[in-house]
Structure 1
């Protein structure tokens, strides 16, 4: 069979040509053929949902088990009564809010939907895709389109037309190229035939968004584990090993730094790694595909299938994958990775305690850090790291030099006093400098944390909260001290005038800010550094014991 290719990436081209291609794809579907179609989630393998014989061809082309139900795609809620019985008002509420979009609803089916489409269930999965090309094809065809993902069964889903051709060329009648998918993971599937509604598959619409609209939603056990032997799936993606590359996958869960470190301990020369961008440099001897930045789950969703699929062209013998947390799109991304691994999941080291210290200059953080070291802890002093990076990180030096002309002297050394006078006198300039430093320093902190074997770790940063380093910590601690004590301390420590000392303090956040933002406070009113260090040691020992006890019992930190 020759697979026709319809290029509709540019829908602003010749209108007649566009209409002809849409018409040709629609005719194939009406005549019982199969067409790869673009959606905002992943590419689908479409057939006439009302034609049982055509639907059987989907299973044959994919090699898909026939007890796996399909989703039918419609142009809007006005089609629901045609194919669904006893449509609840809640379905229309959800459709008004989230259609077109990555939400599939499970509803009672009408007899017009054949058993082949629903795998013999008395329910049908329905959604309205948010892609203009596929909506136009459905309208032109005048029929609902049954469409699972357009990959061979068990393989990673397709997010480009080229992925579809890689799996389906010669197996199907046509492929419509509508460009890369905007979301990158399949739709969220919500069962509305039970009360409360039940999440059967996490996807491109986060669970939190649904719950904000309709309240409590139960989560099916298949989201986080495999169905029992003989248990019938009610929706696509619930039963079989899905999204899997050829090499076996192990998913490592936990905080990004901990999961990166766990992978680092396990990899060999023939291992492949799927990791967040911040940790790619740790795996220079392995083939690496990045999910995207730790904090950007939309990018992670767009890349996850491509990362899994790309390994099939390599010689890796095993794949280790970092996994995002379950918030937002993370639930869907993690679900896809875990299914690719056949739910072979390893939790990263949960014994480590990471503390974040912050507070104004002169509050006593150096003494607090000595206390942590005395407990066997490892410390990253971000101020010291910043000055180290000024010597070793050319991009950081360049960005500061461009943004703050004259910050470096003729010998290439940072003139701290000159730069300080500028930024401490102008809040916007201080924020600009802090932003530059954070862009370069935070990834380095992540790398050092991942590479460390220490079970107790502390990060000391004046901008711990603003720079996002607090997200790496089990607890954040505000180190505070009376103002006049701070003034005297930094005058003696840095050999500066009282006026300049007060200027530096006034440019920073007040103690009230740190108290309000941090998990706990360590106040330093001690007469000597040694006395405060002893107090801090006792404070940190109690705090570390509390955190370890919480982790042992599966509790979350504050």
Structure 2
């Protein structure tokens, strides 16, 4: 049985911290999606996370920390730009890919010499990590390649009985996974390896340099698999409204010239991201078999959402 703890209850929060320090695995809220957390210094606990998710061990995880001061515990040869970005975007949905500290287990990083680190903005999680001086791996709290959870109920749908506890912090505010930016070799440029809420333009404005955001790459980072973020229903891009015979159509705003059965997610990227996974979970619960997707606009601000949906439609 999986214990349900309330993030706004100090006793429950302390209990979640104790479970983690004792080698347990706890689903925790972040501002992006719920993560399945384990003490990143405990290799047995890390293995439990991979087993619960049925996640390949060569697929690297992100370490979540409670303060910028913890960054040197996990990464070495830290460039100044790492601190510039941390000061600007942390706590928040930006992950820095850096050189792994030699004492950090390669089990976290899929065997590579790199490590991904971020400081989440969810207040209670930040408090827990800071009080216990914990770094935790926290890949999304779902079965591998399936739909990311944005509520504790979503976690329990897939992981009830497979994990020690879930810390209920309500619905996630951002709704999609963090941006991953590569800072391992800044002399040869900086690039986005997973698009997310923080854009290449925003990072470039802080660093006063061009930041690249390739549509495809072969670097092993969280989320970079051809098939990912998948609901049970079949997702299909809708290029001709007449094709939508049956099923629900997810749109930014309801269109009067399109068929009935539209569900509005939001006109801005932030609104759409907040609604997307939540809506897909609801439609799975309704046992929808086909979900149609209105094509998203071109442009950097929609890149993260196109990335998630392209992988979900594979």
- TM-score, normalising length: structure 1: 0.54
Q: In structure 2, how many angstroms separate the alpha carbons of the residues matched to 1:186 and 1:280?
A: 32
Structure 2 partner of 1:266: 243
Is 2:85 aligned against 1:94? yes
Larger gyration radius, structure 1 or structure 2 = 1
Q: Flag the structure with higher helix content.
A: 1
**Structure 1 position 325, deviation (Å):** 2.1
Q: Residue 332 of structure 1: which of 304, 310, 314 is its match?
A: 304
Structure 2 partner of 1:242: 228
Give the 3-state SS of the residue equivalent to 1:153 in structure 2. Answer: coil
**Structure 1 position 274, deviation (Å):** 1.4
Gaps of 5+ in 1: 12-17, 253-258, 343-558
Q: Determine if contact 2:98/2:116 at 8 Å carries over to the other structure.
A: yes
Gaps of 5+ in 2: none
Q: In structure 2, how many angstroms separate the alpha carbons of the residues matched to 1:281 and 1:244?
A: 29
**Structure 1 position 147, deviation (Å):** 0.4
**Structure 1 position 265, deviation (Å):** 1.7
**Structure 1 position 315, deviation (Å):** 4.0
Is 2:27 aligned against 1:36? yes
Q: Determine if contact 2:24/2:45 at 8 Å carries over to the other structure.
A: yes
Structure 2 partner of 1:368: none
Give the 5 Å matches for 1:27-426: 27-194=18-185, 195-214=188-207, 215-222=209-216, 233-252=219-238, 259=239, 262=240, 264-269=241-246, 271-279=247-255, 282-284=258-260, 286=261, 288-292=262-266, 294=267, 296-327=268-299, 329-342=301-314
**Structure 1 position 176, deviation (Å):** 0.7
**Structure 1 position 96, deviation (Å):** 0.6
Q: In structure 1, how many angstroms separate the alpha carbons of the residues matched to 2:4 and 2:155?
A: 11
Give the 3-state SS of the residue equivalent to 2:242 in structure 1. Answer: helix
**Structure 1 position 19, deviation (Å):** 2.6
Q: In structure 2, how many angstroms separate the alpha carbons of the residues matched to 1:141 and 1:3?
A: 22
Give the 3-state SS of the residue equivalent to 1:172 in structure 2. Answer: coil
**Structure 1 position 198, deviation (Å):** 1.2
> 1:117–1:71: structure 2 CA closer, same or farther, 3 Å change rule?
same
Greater RCO (Cα-Cα under 8 Å, separation 6 or more):
2
**Structure 1 position 327, deviation (Å):** 3.6
User: What RMSD in Å do the two structures reach over aligned CA positions?
Assistant: 1.8
- Spell out structure 1 runs of 4+ moving beyond 6 A: none
Query: Cα deviation per residue 1:135-170 (whole Å; 9 max; x = unaligned)?
Result: 111123322010011111121111111111111111
Query: Cα deviation per residue 1:24-59 (whole Å; 9 max; x = unaligned)?
Result: 101111111111111111111100111111111111
